Amino acid sequence: MDLAESKENLTTKMDRGTDKMSFMLVVIALLVAVVALVIACVGLGQKGGVTNNYIGGSTDSQGSSSTSLNNEKIWMFAIHHSGLNLEYTDEASGEVRGFNVDLVNAVCRIANKNCQLVQDWYKRCWNRVPGQPAQGGLGLFGRNYDGCVGWHHTYERARVFQFSDPWTQTKPGAFYIKPTNPRKFNWMDLTNRTIGFINGMAFNEHCISRVTQIKGNVLTETQIKSFPSRDELITAVLNEEIDASFDIEEGYKANEDVEQASDDIRDCVVAGMGMMVLKDSLLPQWWNPALKQLMNSVEYRRVCDDLKKKHGHWPGPAPDELCIGY
Predicted pLDDT of residue 128: 75
**What confidence tens digit (pLDDT) does each residue in 77-127 have?**
999 877 789 999 988 888 899 999 999 999 999 999 999 999 998 889 998
Domain residues for the domain of 188 are 173-260
Residues 249, 287 within the same domain: no
Q: How deeply is 325 buried, as exposed, middle or buried, from its count of CB atoms within 10 A (0-12, 13-18, 19+)?
A: exposed
Burial 5-39 (b: 16+ CB within 10 A, else e): eeeeeeeeeeeeeeeeeeeeeeeeeeeeeeeeeee
Domain count, the chain: 2
**What confidence tens digit (pLDDT) does each residue in 5-45 have?**
444 444 444 445 545 545 454 445 555 454 444 444 434 34
Predicted pLDDT of residue 191: 97
Cα separation, 156 vs 268, whole angstroms:
10
Contact criterion met (CB below 8 Å) for 250 and 314:
no
Percent over 70 (pLDDT), the chain: 76
Identify the domain boundary among 215, 241, 260.
260
**What confidence tens digit (pLDDT) does each residue in 48-90 have?**
555 554 333 333 333 445 555 455 899 999 998 777 899 999 8
Burial 99-137 (b: 16+ CB within 10 A, else e): bbbbbbbbbbbbbebbbbbbbbbbbbbbbbeeeeebebb
Identify the domain boundary among 260, 281, 314.
260
pLDDT (average), residues 167-191: 95
Residues 209, 311 within the same domain: no
Predicted pLDDT of residue 87: 93
195 in any annotated domain: yes
The continuous run of DSSP H or E covering 196 comes out as strand 195-198
pTM over 0.85: no
Residue 322's alpha-carbon distances to 8, 11, 265, 272, in angstroms, are 88, 83, 16, 9
- Read off the pLDDT band of 202 (50, 70, 90): confident
Predicted pLDDT of residue 110: 97
